Chain A
Amino acid sequence: MNESRCSTVVFTGILVAFIAGLWIGYKRRPTFFKKYKVVFWITLMLLFLMGYETGSNAELFESLPRIGWWALVIAVSGVAGGFLFVFLFEQAMKKRKSL
């Protein structure tokens, strides 16, 4: 798998699949996929394959120890951004209510 392989096809395919799922779910309300935990098993398989790709790529495998730090910084930044915006909004709402 190379880095930018047919991302337009994947992009369109994913959006179409997602919207189709939402629409069919809303209209037909199927339940079979819950009984067999389809989402769970596909997720597990995809995560396994993601791991497989990491393990079979020597360069990627060697960068694993550094990945934790990068991920922590990205996670904390993203959380801080969302938190700050909502916090300011919440304070503004409180002020308006108390006026």
Chain B
Amino acid sequence: MMLMLSAVAGGILLGRFFTLPVPDYFVTVLLMALVFFVGLEIGSEEGIFKKIKKELALILIQSALVISGTLIFGWFSCYLIRSSGFSGKETMGAAAGMGWYSLSGVMISEMHSPLLGTVSFAANLIRETLAILFIPILSRFSPLASVSIGGAASMDVLLGLISKHNRLSVTLIAFGQGVICSLMVPVILSIVFG
């Protein structure tokens, strides 16, 4: 997380004082390469589809609820930050990263606007931080709901934390939720901003 933040900060500083000859298509090609390799990583995970199949019904319901809740409340958040001038579609898109800050930030910067991309990066970074802070506390009262905070990151970054505070069955659902949300983030962002 620190290294990624430093990359953004380094970029901002460099952009402030220097001009780099970056061709327009470069970012697009990099973005496609990234999505390709992420797909490769998910697809090549040993027995990934078997693991998900085991609890499929619950995983699908959980993921659908996390995604719809995030999108609907994300949409309405535009009324709380009227001064930003963002539309409901824009705030919904920024929330749709579901904790996957690196992808949502760069995808929205590229497909919509750099301003909203930066907002989305920060919003999803905050989401991951909220997950780290609140999953341990809330898992005692409502395990599945606490896992929902993790969104797409619950399959990798947060999985260790989730398994520490929950039963194995909850961890499995968290993993499945992470996979489904990760699969859906690029699709949702492409639909919203395409």
By secondary structure, the B interface counts as helix
The smallest C-beta distance from A31 to any residue of chain B, in angstroms, reads: 7
Q: How far is the CA of A3 from the CA of B114 in the complex (A)?
A: 8
Contact present for B69 and A52 (CB under 8 Å): no
Contact present for B148 and A50 (CB under 8 Å): no
- Check: B32 CB closer than 8 A to any chain A CB: yes
Contact present for A68 and B122 (CB under 8 Å): yes
B-contact bits for A22-55, CB 8 A (1 contact / 0 none)? 1111111111011000110011111111111111
Contact present for A61 and B12 (CB under 8 Å): yes
Contacts A22-B39, A61-B16, A75-B130; is A54 near B118 (CB within 8 Å)?
Answer: yes
Contact present for A51 and B9 (CB under 8 Å): yes
Contact present for B41 and A46 (CB under 8 Å): no
Chain B residue numbers with a CB within 8 Å of A26 are 43-44, 49
Q: How far is the CA of A33 from the CA of B29 in the complex (A)?
A: 17
Q: Which of A18, A33, A73, A84 is the one whose CB lies under 8 Å from B186?
A: A18
Q: Which of A27, A48, A53 is the one whose CB lies under 8 Å from B114?
A: A53
By secondary structure, the A interface counts as helix
- Check: A98 CB closer than 8 A to any chain B CB: no
Q: How far is the CA of A64 from the CA of B15 in the complex (A)?
A: 14
Contacts A49-B11, A75-B124; is A86 near B144 (CB within 8 Å)?
Answer: yes
Contacts A13-B28, A47-B8; is A74 near B94 (CB within 8 Å)?
Answer: yes
Interface size class of chain A, counting residues whose CB lies under 8 Å from the partner chain? 35 or more
- List the count of A-B residue pairs having beta carbons below 8 Å apart: 307
Contact present for B35 and A5 (CB under 8 Å): no
How many residues of chain B get a CB closer than 8 Å to chain A's CBs? 101
Contact present for A14 and B32 (CB under 8 Å): yes
Specify the chain B residue showing the minimal Cβ separation from A32: B40
- Check: B14 CB closer than 8 A to any chain A CB: yes
Contact present for A52 and B33 (CB under 8 Å): no
Q: How far is the CA of A16 from the CA of B182 in the complex (A)?
A: 16
- Check: B172 CB closer than 8 A to any chain A CB: no
Q: How far is the CA of A25 from the CA of B43 in the complex (A)?
A: 4
Chain A residue numbers with a CB within 8 Å of B80 are 73, 77
Q: How far is the CA of A91 from the CA of B147 in the complex (A)?
A: 15
Binding site for A on B (CB under 8 A): 3-4, 7-17, 19-20, 22, 24, 26-28, 30-45, 49, 61-62, 65-74, 76-77, 80-81, 83-84, 86, 91, 94-96, 98, 102-103, 105-107, 109-115, 117-127, 130-131, 138, 142-149, 151, 186-187, 190, 193-194
Q: Please, could you name 17 A-B residue pairs with CB atoms under 8 Å apart, sorted by A?
A: A10-B111, A14-B31, A18-B186, A24-B43, A25-B40, A25-B43, A33-B37, A49-B106, A71-B120, A74-B91, A74-B120, A75-B122, A81-B69, A82-B65, A82-B151, A85-B148, A89-B144
